[in-house]
Amino acid sequence: METKILKMDPGNPDIESLQICAEILKTGGTVAFPTETVYGLGANGLDVSAVKKIFEAKGRPGDNPLILHLTNINDIEKYSLSFSNEARLLAKIFWPGSLSIILKKKDIIPDLVTGGLNTVAFRIPSNPIARKLISLTGLPIAAPSANLSGKPSTTDGKHVIEDLFGKVDAIIDAGKCEVGLESTVVDMVSYPPAVLRPGGIPFEKIRMIIPELIKDYHISETDTPRSPGMKYRHYSPEAPIILVKGRDEKVADKINKLTEQEPKSGVLCSFETIDQYTSLNKICIGSRNDSDEIAANIFDSLRMFDKLDVKIIYSEFFGGGQMGDAIMNRLFKAASYEVIDLDL
């Protein structure tokens, strides 16, 4: 398939190119576009054959539901049966932004979008290119992250081109995404309301509005049944990742021993600790004191290891700060929950 690539300045959406992309979406095609979290692969969320193309391009399992992207809160009621006062409050406070809200769906939304569930996730993004594109279509745009299924999400136009060139109708390349991690997914249908995926908006901020909110996600190996890697393989670079837990010096000692045994190994570490490692293939994810920076770099860092052609990757833990849960959630999945715990 021929893929149009449209370069765009993130602060200055190019209306002519966006009109071309909107036309592609309105006529049943697929367009990858930037959002503030990660790039999304969009299609008309009311058109089954268009949505099918998303699953095909990504190689995504059909039972994994998609998020519908809108630009106007008033449109929610066209597609949902249950916009409660609490959900409305979240929408008013956090939209546009990195929050996806699960509500009961109306029949107009095809089952393919929701993986057969009677609920659907909505998000109103803040990125100006995404907003302009969606509003030009006048449609709810179904968009998962614009990566091949199982690979790290795409947070830069060049990642999208690597994964989806030749598989989608157009790619809007506007450089790097601000947040770098996907939206927080909050289920406002079940009781108590629950965060199902930690993301761009920290749990604590949402709980300030919804006090009964619970966490229904995994951020460590201990709260997850260990099961064979493939089931969890997600966000993964080509080489397997092992997380190493413990005090800084012990972690560096252990990783140095391991990387000296296997020269084709890589290390994912922080600005504060990078000098402690002897490996030639070390990637700095950012400063321990800035969890926003680590979140913004995590997927790019994981993808960089593919370029280094390493056979195995050792990573530190990065659980501190307000994005810590979301970062560790992705890292545990990327590592298939493989951990060397030096505190044991």
| Site for ligand TXA, rule CB under 6 A | 35, 37-38, 40, 64-67, 100, 102, 114, 117, 119-121, 123, 143-145, 182-183, 185, 196-197
Query: Which pairing describes strands 170-173 and 141-142: parallel, antiparallel, or unpaired?
Result: unpaired
Please state, in angstroms and rounded to a whole number, the distance separating the CA atoms of residues 298 and 284: 10
Q: What is the DSSP letter of 146?
A: S
- What sign has the CA pseudo-torsion 172, 178, 181, 187? negative
Partner that binds at residue 273, options Mg ion, ligand TXA, none, CB closer than 5 to 8 Å by kind = none
Q: Considering the complex, state which of residue 145 and residue 291 has its C-beta at the smaller distance from Mg ion.
A: 145
Look-up of token digits 């289920």: 187
The 3-state DSSP class for residue 71 equals coil
The 3-state DSSP class for residue 39 equals coil
Partner that binds at residue 129, options ligand TXA, Mg ion, none, CB closer than 5 to 8 Å by kind = none
Least Cα distance to 133 among 294, 265, 8 occurs for 8
Q: Considering the complex, state which of residue 179 and residue 283 has its C-beta at the smaller distance from ligand TXA.
A: 179
- Binding part of the chain for Mg ion, among 87-95, 135-143, 144-152, 289-297 by CB under 5 A, reads 144-152
Partner that binds at residue 64, options ligand TXA, Mg ion, none, CB closer than 5 to 8 Å by kind = ligand TXA
**Pattern of binders to Mg ion over 45-84, x per CB under 5 A?**
----------------------------------------
Q: Give me the least distance between CB of 66 and ligand TXA, in Å please.
A: 5
Beta bridge partners of 269: 284
Q: Exposure pattern of 19-49 as b/e (b: 16+ CB <10 Å)? A: ebbbebbeebbbbbbbbbbbbbbbbbbbbee
Residue among 145, 155, 273, 301 that touches Mg ion (CB under 5 A): 145
Q: Considering the complex, state which of residue 282 and residue 303 has its C-beta at the smaller distance from ligand TXA.
A: 303
* Non-local CB neighbours of 255 within 8 Å, separated by 6+ positions: 244, 267, 277, 279, 314
Cβ(325)–Cβ(333) below 8 Å: no
Partner that binds at residue 119, options ligand TXA, Mg ion, none, CB closer than 5 to 8 Å by kind = ligand TXA
Site size with Mg ion, rule: CB under 5 A: 1
Q: Give me the least distance between CB of 125 and ligand TXA, in Å please.
A: 6
Least Cα distance to 19 among 10, 9, 6 occurs for 6
Q: Give me the least distance between CB of 153 and Mg ion, in Å please.
A: 5
Q: Exposure pattern of 214-229 as b/e (b: 16+ CB <10 Å)? A: eeebbbbbeeeeeeee
Upper half-sphere CA count for residue 39 (Cβ side, 13 Å): 32
Q: Give me the least distance between CB of 317 and Mg ion, in Å please.
A: 23
Partner that binds at residue 183, options ligand TXA, Mg ion, none, CB closer than 5 to 8 Å by kind = ligand TXA
Partner that binds at residue 197, options ligand TXA, Mg ion, none, CB closer than 5 to 8 Å by kind = ligand TXA
Q: Give me the least distance between CB of 308 and ligand TXA, in Å please.
A: 26
Q: Give me the least distance between CB of 144 and Mg ion, in Å please.
A: 5
Q: Give me the least distance between CB of 243 and ligand TXA, in Å please.
A: 21
Give the chain's length.
344
**How many Cβ atoms from other residues are within 10 Å of residue 15's Cβ?**
11
Partner that binds at residue 330, options Mg ion, ligand TXA, none, CB closer than 5 to 8 Å by kind = none
Q: Give me the least distance between CB of 163 and ligand TXA, in Å please.
A: 13
Task: Name the residue number minimizing CB distance to Mg ion.
Answer: 145
Q: Considering the complex, state which of residue 282 and residue 330 has its C-beta at the smaller distance from ligand TXA.
A: 330
Partner that binds at residue 40, options Mg ion, ligand TXA, none, CB closer than 5 to 8 Å by kind = ligand TXA
Query: Which pairing describes strands 99-104 and 119-123: parallel, antiparallel, or unpaired?
Result: antiparallel
Residues binding Mg ion (CB under 5 A) = 145
